[in-house]
């Protein structure tokens, strides 16, 4: 979102076991957290609204009420549905899990990878079972995920964006999840063989660093 708006920023990573310190950054103990203008704003949705309010150039949300509602629905879907698919494939695929652990332990002592892998897998399975996806058969989960990808590809065929004819928070939120597949998962092939989806991800990649 900051890249979209062209705002300069510094990143503080809480990699490896240092991630426990993130619990003290916000009331809910979750990232991302943005320190800006003497304020601390936590949660990606609240950060997006703050940025549009205080930095209105290159808006994240469309001005049209219907388009804004559609963008907010996509954003919420990315957080509340797509996030769990990404988590499922991450912890249940050895290749994706190895890549994810390497990323999350970057610049940390090598020994942290073993406890982090155990912690991530245990916590991930608890989360997925509580949400319901972790109780489904693998084939059913994969089929449903691919149906979602087909739907996104169909929507993108019209303008190349999820809402309207320009990039919005919908594109940023959904691509944030899907680019993790491209970065770490063998499932990347399923995304990249869908023409409109692959082109769209390629356009969004620079904004996610």
Can you give the pLDDT at residue 24? 85
Flag whether pLDDT at 17 surpasses 90: no
Q: Range with the lowest mean pLDDT among 56-70, 88-102, 157-171?
A: 88-102
Residues 6+ apart with CB under 8 A from 111: none
Query: How far is 182 from 88, CA to CA, in rounded Å?
Result: 15
Task: Show the domains of the chain with their CATH numbers.
Answer: 2-54 (no CATH), 65-208 (1.20.1050.10)
Residues 6+ apart with CB under 8 A from 163: 62, 67, 70, 71, 74, 170, 171
Q: Range with the lowest mean pLDDT among 13-17, 56-60, 190-194?
A: 13-17
Task: Residue 7: name the closest of 53, 41, 58 by CA.
Answer: 58
């Amino acid at each position: 979102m900051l890249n979209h708006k062209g705002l300069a920023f510094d990143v503080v990573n809480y990699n490896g076991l240092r991630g426990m310190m993130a619990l003290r950054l916000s009331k809910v103990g979750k990232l991302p957290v943005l320190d800006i203008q003497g304020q601390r704003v936590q949660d990606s949705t609240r950060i997006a609204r703050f940025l549009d309010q205080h930095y209105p150039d290159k808006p994240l949300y469309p001005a049209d009420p219907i388009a804004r509602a559609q963008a907010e629905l996509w954003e919420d879907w990315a957080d509340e549905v797509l996030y769990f698919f990404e988590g499922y494939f991450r912890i249940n695929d050895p290749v994706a899990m190895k890549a994810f652990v390497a990323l999350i332990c970057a610049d940390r002592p090598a020994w942290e990878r073993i406890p982090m892998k155990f912690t991530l897998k245990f916590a991930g399975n608890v989360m997925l079972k509580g949400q319901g996806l972790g109780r489904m058969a693998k084939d059913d989960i994969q089929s449903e995920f691919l149906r979602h990808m087909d739907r996104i590809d169909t929507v993108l065929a019209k303008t190349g964006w999820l809402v309207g004819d320009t990039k919005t928070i919908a594109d940023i939120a959904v691509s944030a999840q899907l680019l993790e597949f491209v970065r770490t998962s063998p499932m990347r092939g399923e995304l990249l063989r869908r023409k409109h989806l692959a082109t769209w991800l390629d356009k969004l990649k620079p904004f996610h660093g």
